[in-house]
Amino acid sequence: MNSEEIVQAWAKTRGYRAAVGSVSLLEAVRSALQGRREAGEIEAGFYRENLDIFTYLEGVPLENPQSIILVAVPAPAYVLTFIVGDKRIETILPPTYVRYRKKFAEVRGDLAEALSGSGFRVELLNAPLKALGNRLGLLSYGRNNVGYIEGLGSYFQLVGLVSDMPFDKESLPPRPAETLLPRCRECRICAAACPTGAIDRERILLHAESCYTLFSESLRPIPESLKPPSPKCIIGCLRCQELCPENKGLLRHENAGVSFDAEETEAFLGMTPAMGSRAFDRAQAKFQELGLTEGLPVFRRNLKRLLRILGVIA
């Protein structure tokens, strides 16, 4: 087997999907992104905070990077339970939040081992992975600007890698940018369901600055009138994806593996003078186990808001 066949065989045995392409695609994707910014199609603040962070090949420890490898790892939603007083509250963590960063390291290490006999190396790639996946034919866009893969729907995590493995298909043109799922050309279910109007009926590009997910991931104030479109989600939003026909029957729910007792929940929410207490330390350790410690203030704000909406706390 050649190196690309090794990558595909490796992905298949693990239930992943993968695509391999030339590093030249990185410049095409970068230019397209900058062009949209200059045309005013992407809100300046959103671009600065979310898209101006990509480093592409800068700092990649390879002398001669030749190929990019994109891996799609199936991702479930996780059920996270909090005990509040005598009530058991189940919240949802949408796919990709739990152990997100850890998954990159795991995939990179696993593929590096699979390629070790070939002499080629792989390193992590910091680039617009969804746009690359579309260009490589790994995924198509939905009307909601989410990536979709047949059989996985939109429930997967992308991991980008760069390698010194040669790519010998330069003559094969990549797909045009922003290939839309065929059924999305007529379907408007997600656009009609989005409470903030973030999904445009006339273009693929999301008005991301209006998306509830962005509100929920930031400590900027959420308007009181804007209720969580997915009532159980402690972060993010699944509304457009849950209603999408392409996702029918594909979302898996798994237990997060940790739960918060009444004392831990109370300490985490700051309803008792518990900072530095054992209960707070236990709660923090559980978020760390889930790979979520960077966003603790956001999760605290969101959980309080969710509990108030449910009428559990005042």
DSSP 102-155: HHHHHHHHHHHHHHGGGT--EEE-BS-HHHHHHHTTS-EE-TTS-EEBTTTBT-
Q: Report CA 192 to chain centroid distance, whole Å.
A: 23
Quick one: pLDDT at residue 49? 82
Poorest-confidence range of 6-15, 28-37, 162-171, 209-218?
162-171
In this prediction, residues 173-192 reach a mean pLDDT of 83
pLDDT more than 70, % of the chain: 95
CB 111, CB 7: distance < 8 Å: yes
Question: Residue 273: pLDDT above 60?
Answer: no
Specify the DSSP class assigned to residue 73.
E
Which two tokens mark 126? 């910091």
Quick one: pLDDT at residue 276? 57
Quick one: pLDDT at residue 171? 44
- Which of 123-127, 197-201, 279-283 has the highest mean predicted lDDT (pLDDT)? 123-127
Question: Residue 74: pLDDT above 90?
Answer: yes
What radius of gyration, in Å, describes the C-alpha atoms of the chain?
A: 21
Which two tokens mark 159? 């991991």
Closest CA relative to residue 267, chosen from 286, 285, 280: 280
Question: Residue 197: pLDDT above 70?
Answer: yes
Distances (CA, A) of 313 to 84, 153, 260, 273, 304: 9, 36, 16, 17, 8
Mean pLDDT of the chain: 92
Going by their DSSP bridges, the two strands 140-141 and 17-22 should be labelled as unpaired
What confidence tens digit (pLDDT) does each residue in 162-181 have? 999 998 765 455 566 668 89
Question: Residue 281: pLDDT above 70?
Answer: yes
Question: Residue 36: pLDDT above 90?
Answer: no
Question: Residue 80: pLDDT above 70?
Answer: yes
Beta bridge partners of 70: 19, 160
Quick one: pLDDT at residue 179? 82
With a CB cutoff of 8 Å and minimum separation 6, the contacts of 239 are 193, 194, 195, 212, 229, 230
- Taking the chain, what is the end-to-end CA distance rounded to the nearest angstrom? 63
In this prediction, residues 127-138 reach a mean pLDDT of 95
pTM: 0.92
Quick one: pLDDT at residue 43? 84
Helix axes 3-14, 100-115, angle to 10 degrees: 130
d(CA 78, CA 97): 9
In this prediction, residues 117-128 reach a mean pLDDT of 96
Closest CA relative to residue 287, chosen from 125, 130, 138, 100: 100
